[in-house]
Amino acid sequence: MILFVCVENAGRSQMAEAFARRQGLDASSAGTVPAAQVNPLVVQAMREKGIDVGLNRPKSLTPEMVEEASLVVTMGCSVEEACPRPMLAQMQKKLVDWELEDPKGKPIERVREIRDEIERRVTELAGAQKKASWP
């Protein structure tokens, strides 16, 4: 399972999880300090791609999620500052940081650009995952 992590689990990680699932990957997302809801502009931008994340709820990152994940992708949001040390240590072996701009407070045009970059990276990740699972 691929776990996408950011602070609020209201934007980047929600988009990444949705795109990964569309690609047939086992994926989840979580945040270190979850927001009350998914960013409305993220919901709008994802609907433009035919994906509805409007009913999704931001989730808290748990040690169990990290343990179950084969890969943890952080979105460039300083999880190092928010994660407990034992959880961070557990992540290090399987951690990749994508260093993506936070869509929070950005205009819809910028949210679309961030969305498209996430989709591109998830598509690359899906291609790598499929190659790795071939005999």
In the chain, what are the domains?
A: 2-128 (3.40.50.2300)
The mean pLDDT value for 101-121 works out to: 97
Which DSSP state fits 7? S
Six-digit token string for 8: 């609020």
pLDDT tens digits along 2-22: 999 988 999 999 999 999 999
% of the chain residues with pLDDT over 90: 67
The structure tokens 């300083």 sit at: 78
Report how far residue 106's alpha carbon sits from residue 28's, in angstroms, rounded to the nearest whole number: 24
**pTM of whole model > 0.85?**
yes
CA-to-CA distance for 56 and 37, rounded, in angstroms? 8
